[in-house]
Amino acid sequence: MGEKVNPSRRSLIGWGGAGLALGAAVAGGAVAMAEAGGDADPVAADTGGAVPFHGAHQAGIATPVQDRLHFAAFDVKTDDRAEFVQLLKDWTAAARRMTAGKAVGEGAYGGLAEAPPDDTGEALGLKPSRLTLTIGFGPSLFGKFGLDGQRPAALVDLPGFPGDNLDAARTGGDLCVQACADDPQVAVHAIRNLARIGFGKVAIRWSQLGFGKTSSTTPDAQTPRNLMGFKDGTRNIAGTETDRLKKFVWSADGDGPAWMSGGSYLVARRIRMNIETWDRTSLQEQEDVFGRDKGEGAPVGKAKEHDAPFLKAMKPDAHVRLAHPDSNGGITILRRGYSFTDGTDGLGRLDAGLFFLAYMRDVRKGFIPLQRRLSASDALNEYIQHVGSAVFAVPPGVRDTDDWWGRALFSGSAKSSESAESAEGA
Amino acid sequence: MRAVRLTVTAATAVAALTALSACTAKSDAKGDDAIQVTAADSKCETSTKSVPAGHVTLAIENKGSKATEVEILFPDDRIVSEKENIGPGTKYTLTAEVKAGSYEIACRPGMKGHGVRQKLTVTGGTVAKRDPKLDAAVAAYREYAQEQADATIPKVETFVKAIKAGDIDAAKDAYAPSRVGWETTEPIAESFGDIDPKTDTRVNDLEKGQKWTGWHALEKALWVDRKAGAEQQALADELLADLTDWQKRVGKAEITPTSMANGAKELLDEVATGKVTGEEDRYSHTDLSDFKANVDGAQKAYELLKPVAQKNDAALAAELDKQFAALDTLLDKYRTDKTSDGFVSYDTVTEAQRKELSDAVNALAEPLSKLAAAVVK
């Protein structure tokens, strides 16, 4: 990473030669991070800079969590493999431009008066805002395009968990794109333009906006609070913890099909919170449910948020106690969720909660055992309900300008059929 | 169609008698600079093929046995000037201001069809460059729009008749078919500005003080209030009068290749914002009939522009062919039976099915938005 730094949509110092100064600063930061061995991007949130799109892993996983989210799940609408491959290439090209702060295609203005502009234009004048775009492939995709032999064993269909109340219209998807940025308009612009490029080939199945990060992948940062007012996921994997990333997040050679090496698995769950009943719950019970104090976020009996918790001091069904790696044979996942509020539900209650996003090396060894345990016993269950669910295989990063999302998957499998297609096209 | 034509001819024969006396005063074809136009049942002779730009006079004489119509036309068949209903044996003087360029003089014996044409070149000044292929496309599209309007009138008459007979069920049956021709060519009707608000306004689109007239006012009366009284009969008459006005104005509509392409896209916009949501025909739920008509009209415009679009952007044309076919196939699933033009009531179409329809509309509308650029480039 860091080998190529694109100019920002509107860098602080403007276009032209001065832009190189910013580029140099970014490149320098990248070197520092490379030494630290992490995949975290070097750009601080307040510069509004660009996160490199190219790398061994996709950005948007170990990247320090941005403030805003627009997540979209898509259904494939074409059965033409060549057409779908072209879409992945077109999407990659658009993502490369947008994450660098540039407009899609030939831009949002100045083209033919008779044609709609390529770019929709609402991000003009905005900074790159650390936009990351991360693609994932759902289990159902592997039933199409002759990909059945390529489905990783680690990409299992999630089992039903006690208490699930999944809405089919917010569940599943052949593929997904996670757009994270510090400016919500930049994230929405990205999904909107990808959806537009995709019309006829893919259609949005469902999407979710998130407005407040609920986890941090930056070691010393304060853990953000969720909508229940608590800090959760304090001991998350940091973007700089190369060893833990390797152990718990990145799919390694030999884990599964070769095309997934350097990739990861993503579980998305829309978790509705019964906000009103929670708000009527006594402080004592709220703290018991989590196993932390509300003010500092310190584990029961401790003084500071990051103090090591003494799990046995907590109630047996306390959320932290049940979710902690020490209670789960060391199971660790990288959490990257966001709070959401989609207005109210028609009964005068907030339609709000946590859009849970977690990356892991193997869904069978990560989310599933963890959620089995939580869904069975977590005291929090009285106040939450899982209403949407999806799981995706997240391929490795796009290496360079010749590479594209999913290349290894689509070039590695059914090689003969692809050469047949190119012969047809010639 | 044949029966319809006979009816019209009979009507015009009566009108021709009136025209005979009414026009005598104006029948003295004057002077040497006038173009002498001799119209007959199967010919249309003109005394000159070339005139200087400016004021042009046509001295017309109908030597045929049917009433005729004489028009000066732009290369895309838009009417520069016209005189309808010139009875057998009558003369008429038609005048127009014309700029340099190529025109046609058309005589339409029986006041129907393509007519007999003669070239007319107007000289002097610079002639704007035109693309004959695009002119042909616009002319064919205008002809299609005229056919749609002509075919609409008898269907509206059936609708009006049922209302006047107080036959609510028959009126309901006639409602959706009466809208088809309008929906296929709606952008042309909307280009006139004043007709659409009178004929096709939905209740929530009314401006303050505007009286609700047209199809949707009758739709509510028939489906919700189950009324076909004096008020509805007056509305029905008004609808027929407004649509007859539309039928007469199609020939003069400003149509360009760009407006055809954009019109096709606008028809899909209509589907996306009004039909897929079920807002258009919220009382009758006949949205799918309008949906199909919108798509058919868009497809017609596209097919006529396709030779040019294909040359400029073959991939776009291939994509449009594919997506039109896909949407047609999807819509066919909702026909009440394979032979009829009827569609299922939209309130029986589930949310998942509406999503599928919406996805297919998006899949077509996105490439269709690029047609105008492919036509002009």
Mean of per-residue pLDDT scores for chain B: 88
The CATH number covering residue B41 comes to 2.60.40.420
Residues B109 and B222 in one domain: no
- Per the domain annotation, does B306 fall within a domain? yes
pLDDT for A63-111, tens place per residue? 999 999 999 999 999 999 999 999 999 999 999 999 999 999 999 998 8
Q: What is the pTM of this model?
A: 0.82
- Position B215: which residue type? W
Given this model, what pLDDT does residue A22 score?
A: 36
Given this model, what pLDDT does residue B84 score?
A: 86
Given this model, what pLDDT does residue A234 score?
A: 78
Residues B173 and B266 in one domain: yes
CA A404 to CA A198: how far, in whole Å? 15
Going by pLDDT thresholds of 50, 70 and 90, the confidence category of residue A220 is confident
The answer to whether the beta carbons of residues B73 and B42 sit under 8 Å apart is no
Strand-strand pairing, B116-123 and B50-52: parallel
Residue A233 has pLDDT above 80, yes or no: no
Give A336: exposed, middle or buried? Use CB within 10 Å, 0-12, 13-18, 19+.
Answer: buried
Given this model, what pLDDT does residue A424 score?
A: 37
Given this model, what pLDDT does residue A10 score?
A: 42
- Per the domain annotation, does B3 fall within a domain? no
Given this model, what pLDDT does residue B227 score?
A: 95
Ranges A179-193, B121-135, B156-170: which has the least confidence:
B121-135
For residue B323, list chain A residues with Cβ-Cβ distance below 8 A: 200
Q: Which of A268-272, B14-18, B272-276, B278-282 has the highest mean pLDDT?
A: A268-272
Residues B85 and B155 in one domain: no
What is the percent of chain B where pLDDT is above 90? 71
By Cβ distance, the residue of B351, B362, B376 closest to A114 is: B376
Name the domain boundary from B123, B154, B188.
B123
Sign of the torsion angle spanned by Cα atoms B206, B212, B218, B221:
positive
Mutation target to probe the A interface, by most A beta carbons within 10 A, among B364, B366, B368 is B366
Name the domain boundary from B90, B123, B156.
B123
Among B78, B282, B302, B289, smallest CA distance to B182 is for B289
Residues B223 and B155 in one domain: yes
Residue A325 has pLDDT above 50, yes or no: yes
Average pLDDT over every residue of A264-276 = 97
ipTM for this prediction: 0.80
Q: Which of A378-392, B101-115, B201-215 has the highest mean pLDDT?
A: A378-392
Shortest alpha-carbon distance between residue A132 and chain B (Å): 26
- Per the domain annotation, does B12 fall within a domain? no
CA angle B138–B139–B142, rounded 5-degree value: 85
CA A15 to CA A8: how far, in whole Å? 8
Residues B333 and B189 in one domain: yes
Query: Domain span at residue B300?
Result: 133-375
Residue A159 has pLDDT above 90, yes or no: yes
Largest CA distance in chain B: 72
The CATH number covering residue B344 comes to 1.20.1420.20
Q: Which residue has the tokens 């309130």?
A: B347
Mean of per-residue pLDDT scores for chain A: 87
End-to-end CA distance of chain A: 35
Ranges A185-189, A237-241, A245-249, B326-330: which has the least confidence:
A237-241
CA A213 to CA A132: how far, in whole Å? 14
Residues B94 and B146 in one domain: no
Given this model, what pLDDT does residue A31 score?
A: 33
User: How many domains would you assign to chain B?
Assistant: 2
Q: Nearest chain A residue to B359 by CA: give it.
A: A203
Structure tokens at A362: 């193997």
**Contact check, Cβ <8 Å, A203/B367:** no
Residues B140 and B250 in one domain: yes
Residues B75 and B167 in one domain: no
Residues B94 and B217 in one domain: no
pLDDT for B300-352, tens place per residue? 999 999 999 999 999 999 999 999 999 999 999 999 987 777 899 999 999 99
- Per the domain annotation, does B5 fall within a domain? no
Given this model, what pLDDT does residue B32 score?
A: 63
Average pLDDT over every residue of B242-261 = 93
Residues B311 and B230 in one domain: yes
- Per the domain annotation, does B6 fall within a domain? no
Q: Nearest chain B residue to A200 by CA: give it.
A: B363
- Per the domain annotation, does B150 fall within a domain? yes
Given this model, what pLDDT does residue A359 score?
A: 98
By Cβ distance, the residue of B323, B362, B372 closest to A115 is: B372
- Per the domain annotation, does B8 fall within a domain? no
Residues B74 and B164 in one domain: no
Name the domain boundary from B99, B123, B147.
B123
- Per the domain annotation, does B343 fall within a domain? yes
Higher-confidence residue of A295 and B129: namely: A295
Residue B4 has pLDDT above 90, yes or no: no
Residue B292 has pLDDT above 50, yes or no: yes
pLDDT for A384-420, tens place per residue? 999 999 999 999 999 999 999 999 999 864 443 333 3
Shortest alpha-carbon distance between residue B375 and chain A (Å): 9
Residues B173 and B291 in one domain: yes
